[in-house]
C-alpha cells in the first residue's frame, strides 16, 4: 500500500461509498477499508438459488430529498416496488402502516370519521400532552387496541426493552393515515435497485482503491500515516476502545432458508407483532422484484442485545445511550483529522437516504 491519500475511508457502506465518490470526483485520492469480505454495508445484496436476497434485512430505498435521489440514480436503475408490509398478530392479518384497512380489520369501521371516533374514545383514558416515551406516544397516536396488538409486542421484541423505556422518536417513523393507503412510507421517491444494492455501491466505488477484510482498528497508526484525513463509519465507541463504556446496539440473527415452493407468505415482509413468536419478521426476498422462480428464499429475523463480536445493527437511542454518545463526541473533538459518519459513527437510527445526505453534506462542509 502506498501513502499520500487525501482520505482514508473506513467502511464501504453507503456513507463510505457516497463520500468516496464525491471526493474522487473532486480529484482527491481515496483509500477505502472494509472489515467484511464485501462492500455495501448492511444494504448488501447477493444471489442465492437464483434469487436476489437482502442479506442483512429488507432494504427499501425511499426519500423526499431530490438531490439524494438524483445522486443514487447515477449508479442504479430503481424498480417500482412499493413497501406494504403485513402484520400477523396470532393469525390475524392487518395492513401496515396504520390506515383505514387496518382500522376496518380491527374495528369493522368503514369511514375515516368512524375510525377517528374510536381512536378518540380510546385516547380519552390515556392521552398525555407531551409523551416522554414510546408507549405514551403510541397510545396518543393510535389508541390502545392498535398499541396492544400491533406495536407493543413487536417493539419489545425488536428493542429488548419495555416501550415505556424507549424514546417516542422510534414510533414517529411510522405513518398513521385515514385513507386506504398501504404504502409504508410517506416518500416522494421509492424503489429497489434493479441489479441490487451491491451493484449500485460497486459503481459508486469505481476506480477507487478498496481493501476488503481489513479492519482499520487493528492497525490504525499504520493507516493514519497513509492519509491526511480519516472518515470513520464504524461504531464510535469501538473507535475509542470503549473507554467510556459500550453503547447499546441491537443485533439481528438472520436465519436464511431456501424453500421448495414458489410462494411462502405472499408478501415481501410479514411482521409478527405478538410477544410469543420468537422472531420479529419474515422476509420473502423474491417479492421485492416480483420473482417467478420455482423456489423461494426467506429470512427470519431474531433480535438480540449486541455483545462484543456481534455485528451492531441498530443504535438504541434511549436517554442513557444518547448521553454516553454525546460524551464520546466530546472525545472526538480531540481527534482533529477524523470525521465520524453514518449510522454507527454518529449513533443515529438513520435510513439509507439520510446516510447518503449526511455523506454529501459532510463532503461539502469540509472542502
Ligand atoms: P453500514 O452499512 O453499517 O456500513 C458501515 C461499514 O463499516 C460496514 O460495512 C462495516 O463492516 C464497516 N466497518 C465498521 N468498522 C470497521 C473497521 N474498524 N474497519 C473497516 N471497516 C469497518 N434503510 C432504509 O433506508 N430502508 C430500509 O428499508 C432499511 N432497512 C433496514 C433493515 C435492517 C435490518 C437494518 C439493520 C437497517 C436498515 N436500514 C434501512 C438502514 C440502512 O441499513 C442504513 O441506513 C445504512 O446501510 C447505513 O449505512 P452506513 O454506511 O452508515 O453503515
Ligand atoms: N413497529 C411496530 N409494529 C410494526 C412495525 C414497526 O410497533 O409492525 C415499530 C417498532 O417499534 C419499530 C419501529 O416501529 O422499531 C420502526 O419500524 P420500521 O419498520 O421503520 O423499522 P426497521 O425497518 O428500521 O426495523
Rg (CA), the chain: 22
Confidence of residue 128 (pLDDT cuts 50, 70, 90): confident
Mind giving me the DSSP string for 64-119? S-HHHHHHHHTT--B-------EEEETTEEEESSBSHHHHHHHH---SHHHHHHHH
Residue 5 CB: number of other CB atoms within 10 A?
21
Residue 129 CB: number of other CB atoms within 10 A?
6
Calculate mean pLDDT across residues 222-232. Answer: 94
Decide: helix, strand or coil at residue 352.
helix
- The fraction of the chain above a pLDDT of 90, given in percent, is 95
| Active site (catalytic) residues | 173, 177, 250, 281, 301, 349, 351
335 has a pLDDT exceeding 80: no
Residue 337 CB: number of other CB atoms within 10 A?
10
212 has a pLDDT exceeding 70: yes
Single out the residue of 273, 267, 265, 96 nearest to residue 185, CA to CA. Answer: 96
Mutation to probe ligand 1, out of 54, 55, 58, 59 (largest number of atoms < 8 A from CB) = 59
CATH H-level superfamily of 5-43+64-78+190-248+316-366: NAD(P)-binding Rossmann-like Domain (3.40.50.720)
306 has a pLDDT exceeding 90: yes
Supply φ then ψ for residue 341, to 5 degrees: -150, 165
Return the minimum-mean-pLDDT range out of 58-62, 197-201, 241-245, 332-336.
Answer: 332-336
Calculate mean pLDDT across residues 196-209. Answer: 98
Q: Mean pLDDT in the chain?
A: 96
Model confidence pLDDT, tens digit, residues 240-289: 999 999 999 999 999 999 999 999 999 999 999 999 999 999 999 999 99
Query: Grid cell 376496518 — which residue?
Result: 104
What pLDDT is recorded for position 276? 97
339 has a pLDDT exceeding 80: yes
Mutation to probe ligand 1, out of 15, 19, 37, 41 (largest number of atoms < 8 A from CB) = 41
Could you tell me the CA-to-CA distances from 113 to 110, 139, 203, 309, 330 in Å, in that order? 9, 19, 49, 51, 50
User: Which numbered atom of ligand 1 lies nearest the CA of 342?
Assistant: 52
Q: Report how far ligand 2's centroid is from the alpha carbon of 137 (Å).
A: 14
Model confidence pLDDT, tens digit, residues 43-68: 999 999 999 999 999 999 999 999 99
Contact 234, 16 (CB under 8 A): no
Confidence of residue 77 (pLDDT cuts 50, 70, 90): very high
Q: Report how far ligand 2's centroid is from the alpha carbon of 159 (Å).
A: 10
User: CATH 3.40.50.720 occupies which residues in the chain?
Assistant: 5-43+64-78+190-248+316-366
Query: Grid cell 446496539 — which residue?
Result: 249
Confidence of residue 149 (pLDDT cuts 50, 70, 90): very high
CA–CA gap between residue 174 and residue 158 (Å, rounded): 15
Calculate mean pLDDT across residues 231-241. Answer: 97
Confidence of residue 2 (pLDDT cuts 50, 70, 90): low
Nearest bound ligand to CA 354?
1
Q: Which residues line ligand 2 (CB under 6 A)?
A: 87, 96, 150-151, 154-155, 158, 170-171, 173-174, 271, 273
pTM of the predicted model, to two decimals?
A: 0.97
Calculate mean pLDDT across residues 331-347. Answer: 90
Confidence of residue 184 (pLDDT cuts 50, 70, 90): very high
Confidence of residue 1 (pLDDT cuts 50, 70, 90): low
Single out the residue of 310, 340, 343 nearest to residue 328, CA to CA. Answer: 340
- The fraction of the chain above a pLDDT of 70, given in percent, is 99
Calculate mean pLDDT across residues 336-365. Answer: 96
Return the minimum-mean-pLDDT range out of 33-37, 126-130, 148-152, 270-274.
Answer: 126-130
Supply φ then ψ for residue 186, to 5 degrees: -90, 75
Could you tell me the CA-to-CA distances from 47 to 22, 73, 124 in Å, in that order? 29, 22, 51
What pLDDT is recorded for position 89? 98
Residue 23 CB: number of other CB atoms within 10 A?
23
What pLDDT is recorded for position 124? 84
What pLDDT is recorded for position 163? 97
226: exposed, middle or buried (Cβ count in 10 Å: 0-12, 13-18, 19+): middle
CA–CA gap between residue 220 and residue 242 (Å, rounded): 16
CA–CA gap between residue 161 and residue 16 (Å, rounded): 31
Amino acid at each position: 500500500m502506498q501513502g499520500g491519500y487525501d482520505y482514508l475511508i473506513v467502511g464501504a457502506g453507503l456513507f463510505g461509498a457516497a463520500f468516496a465518490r464525491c471526493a474522487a470526483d473532486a480529484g482527491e485520492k481515496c483509500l477505502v477499508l472494509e472489515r467484511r469480505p464485501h462492500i455495501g454495508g448492511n444494504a448488501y445484496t447477493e444471489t442465492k438459488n437464483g434469487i436476489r436476497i437482502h442479506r442483512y434485512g429488507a432494504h427499501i430505498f425511499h426519500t423526499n430529498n431530490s438531490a439524494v435521489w438524483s445522486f443514487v440514480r447515477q449508479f442504479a436503475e430503481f424498480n417500482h416496488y412499493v413497501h406494504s408490509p403485513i402484520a400477523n398478530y396470532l393469525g390475524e392479518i392487518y395492513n401496515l402502516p396504520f390506515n383505514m384497512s387496518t382500522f376496518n380489520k380491527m374495528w369493522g369501521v368503514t369511514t375515516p370519521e368512524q375510525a377517528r371516533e374510536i381512536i378518540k374514545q380510546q385516547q380519552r383514558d390515556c392521552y398525555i400532552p407531551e409523551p416522554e416515551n414510546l408507549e405514551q406516544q403510541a397510545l396518543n397516536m393510535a389508541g390502545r387496541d392498535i398499541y396492544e396488538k400491533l406495536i407493543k409486542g413487536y417493539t419489545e421484541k425488536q428493542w429488548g426493552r419495555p416501550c415505556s423505556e424507549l424514546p417516542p422518536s422510534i414510533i414517529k417513523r411510522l405513518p398513521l393515515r385515514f385513507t386506504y393507503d398501504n404504502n409504508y412510507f410517506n416518500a416522494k421517491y421509492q424503489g429497489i435497485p434493479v441489479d441490487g444494492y451491491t451493484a449500485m455501491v460497486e459503481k459508486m466505488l469505481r476506480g477507487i482503491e478498496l481493501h476488503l477484510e481489513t479492519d482499520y482498528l487493528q492497525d490504525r497508526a499504520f493507516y493514519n500515516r497513509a492519509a491526511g484525513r480519516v472518515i470513520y463509519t464504524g461504531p464510535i465507541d469501538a473507535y475509542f476502545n470503549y473507554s467510556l463504556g459500550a453503547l447499546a446496539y441491537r443485533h439481528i440473527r438472520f436465519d436464511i432458508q431456501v424453500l421448495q415452493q414458489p410462494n411462502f407468505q405472499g408478501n415481501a415482509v410479514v411482521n409478527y407483532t405478538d410477544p410469543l413468536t420468537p422472531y420479529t419478521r419474515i422476509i420473502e426476498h423474491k417479492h421485492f422484484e416480483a420473482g417467478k422462480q420455482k423456489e423461494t428464499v426467506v429470512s427470519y429475523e431474531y433480535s438480540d442485545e449486541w455483545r462484543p463480536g456481534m455485528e451492531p445493527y441498530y443504535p438504541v437511542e434511549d436517554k442513557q445511550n444518547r448521553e454516553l454518545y454525546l460524551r464520546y463526541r466530546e472525545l472526538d473533538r480531540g481527534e482533529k483529522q477524523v470525521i465520524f459518519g453514518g449510522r454507527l459513527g454518529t449513533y443515529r437510527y438513520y435510513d439509507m437516504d439520510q446516510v447518503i445526505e449526511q455523506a454529501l453534506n459532510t463532503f461539502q462542509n469540509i472542502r
